[in-house]
Amino acid sequence: METLTTQRLLLRPFKLSDAADEFEFASLEEVGFNAGFKPHVTIEDSEKIIATFIAQDEVWAIEHKETGKVIGSIGLHPDSLRKDLNTKEIGYVLSPKFQKQGLMLEAVLAVIDFAFNKQNLSLLAANHFSFNESSKRVILKAGFNYDGVIRRARCLYEGTKVDLMIYSLDKKKYFNKKEKE
């Protein structure tokens, strides 16, 4: 997995030694709820997730350059709705301590650039639960187009069925817009 660098962030492969940083935010109820995973109860939970990230080789650790801490994760995954091999789905999570600073948008834009320029993908997908306004703002600021809603599309870890807001970003439209800017 290639390391990506932005002004304030380093997007790099996870290491097992990142478990304490991962646990710090992944154990928070609000993080798990908004991202759709059960909050980590022990540091071993974080170690298991990181081992999965390492094995799958599709999730970057988001390291804050100033602090050297892992403050989130971002990944390019097989698209859960489209089976087109030239499409991937972007997913991310960020520690609440680092939200509302433009950091996630910075990471998302770096991953978009990587996806279109290095992986030569033709389309990126993104989605969020209907109640996750923070994720919605990031997706829209990154240039994704709203495609629609799928009612009761996901079941949260505690059993609640939630609506999924669906977005896409077409490579040609993305670069045409960038040329005009």
**Separation of alpha carbons 133 and 93, rounded Å:** 13
In the beta sheet, which residues pair with residue 60? 13, 74
Residue (of 78, 152, 142, 111) closest to 12 by Cα position: 111
| Non-local CB neighbours of 91 within 8 Å, separated by 6+ positions | 35, 74, 75, 77, 126
**Quick check: 155 pLDDT over 80?**
no
Total-model pTM: 0.94
pLDDT band at 171 (very low <50, low <70, confident <90, very high): very high
The token pair at 31 is 């993080």
Q: Where are the domains of the chain?
A: 4-180
**Quick check: 174 pLDDT over 90?**
no
136 or 33: whose pLDDT is higher?
136
pLDDT band at 148 (very low <50, low <70, confident <90, very high): very high
The 10s digit of each residue's pLDDT in 60-114 is: 999 999 999 999 999 999 998 888 779 999 999 999 999 999 999 999 999 999 9
**Separation of alpha carbons 94 and 103, rounded Å:** 9
- CB of 107 closer than 8 Å to CB of 144: no
Superfamily of domain 4-180: Gcn5-related N-acetyltransferase (GNAT) (3.40.630.30)
> H/E element holding 104?
helix 103-117
pLDDT band at 48 (very low <50, low <70, confident <90, very high): very high
- CB of 1 closer than 8 Å to CB of 60: yes
Tell me how far CA of residue 87 lies from CA of 31, 43, 160, in angstroms: 26, 33, 29
Percent of the chain with pLDDT over 70: 99
